[in-house]
Structure 1
Amino acid sequence: MDFGGRAPLRATARSWGDQVKYVEADVKEHLRLTARQVCPDGIVAWTCESEANPEEVLEAGSR
């Protein structure tokens, strides 16, 4: 879930093919987060409060 429509995050999600669904959203309350990665079971695997680093996203997704 990307709250800012960042091209690097979009590209990182595409690198996983159909395993990851990239969602760009504008929300009323984002709790100071700029992005988050949520697993299919609802567990939040990664969050970001500043500029997202695609390498951190890849690391979280490989766990």
Structure 2
Amino acid sequence: MAKRKALPQIEQHNFVAKHMHEVNRSQVFTDRKKDLKRGYQKHKQGRNSMEDRLFYWVSYTLC
């Protein structure tokens, strides 16, 4: 009697489990309230002040 051929197994690809170690990592949490009390500013003031903008300077001088 001839041997039966083994049926090919269907592979199920779980993409979530495959790539989860790349995405799910621990993150460092920064407390924004504490930083504000210490004086941290997210955007420095004066860097984008009105004097640096050419449009306002030109319109001011033409008036």
TM-score by length of 2: 0.20
> Which structure has more strand as a fraction of its residues?
1
Rg larger for: 2
More helix by share: 2
- TM-score, normalised by the number of residues in structure 1: 0.20
